[in-house]
A and B are shown apart, each in its own frame.
Chain A
Amino acid sequence: MTRLPPALVLGAALSGVFLIAALVSLVWVPHGVTGVSIATRLQPPSATHWLGTDQLGRDLLSMLMVGAQTSIAVALLAVGIGISLGVPLGLAAAANRGGWLDEIIMRGNDLIFAFPSLVIAILITARYGPSASNAILAIGIFNIPVFARVARGAALPLWTLDYILAARTAGKGRFRISAEHILPNIANLLIVQATIQFSLGILAEAALSYVGLGAQPPVPSWGRMLAEAQTMIYTHPMLAVLPGFAIVLTVLGLNLMGDGLRDVLDPRLRRGRA
């Protein structure tokens, strides 16, 4: 086993902390996050409230943990939408390079890219009502062309290789070749791209819920915590600083992990080692 790159280890550790926090929050949080308790509002960190409480007296640590759950779930599902639709489209486009299918898929992709993504996300959530599921849909739609493009871009050079020609002379069709030869060989790149889109999804979710178009109260989310803290930034800056740190560390962790994975999975590097 070769040594793992430090970026991968650090990134996995950072994002792992928040993933675990999110998982733990499914079964247990230090304090409930739905109850309002004016008596304990805006408390500094203490033994009972490790990170203090917010303007409604909710435990900040608990809020952050449940918020992680929201962020991660939204981003993960949006990545799922992107992969499950984008990758088949990209593979189909590459398998029919230059054909009408390729043309339609790529023009459609260009078009989605031409939209300022967050504007459309805002439009969708504004028209159909703000909710976590609309946020997932809005972010997910913009993941589709990203994965389609990465899959097509990575698949195209493979299609010119002799082993694909050999598979064709072995009588295999484009669909089967895409599944047997192309997909396994571009999986690395897709995994790396998935971590990047995951982190972008967390940023986008935070932005949407910051403007009130993400998960709705009383479900906590990092973005809305920031929005609510904004008016108190003069008096209680920590309320604004902590959720921000949670976002930054999660996104940083995922990006570092993506970089590290790229180093580990890059076939060029592996060939060098072999």
Chain B
Amino acid sequence: MYTQKVIDHFMNPRNKGKPREYDAVGKVGNPICGDVMYIYIKVNGNRIENIGWETMGCAAAISTSSMITELARGKTLEEAEKITKKDIADALDGLPPIKMHCSNLAADGLKKAIENYRKKVEK
């Protein structure tokens, strides 16, 4: 059902946990649906210097959380917010169709974190 890459990221998740220092967090999902993701970012200048996550969810939810940290780290905010659900799924060699919408929340989580960061900076 899952690709080797999904299983790898699920079994050995990258950058898991809430980072000691972060500038903003994006909270997405809903416990009622079974998937919740918190994406934490630390921004330096205009670049994502560090990114971490906390996720309750299935293997797809955990592996996408792990994968987005690899895709987004070091990117500018403008580059990072362009990462799509499809980019993440492609980087994992695909997700089961049924999981594409419910568990593939990482891109939304990152967008929300960037949005929250900008709001914070504007203040």
Do A and B assemble together? no
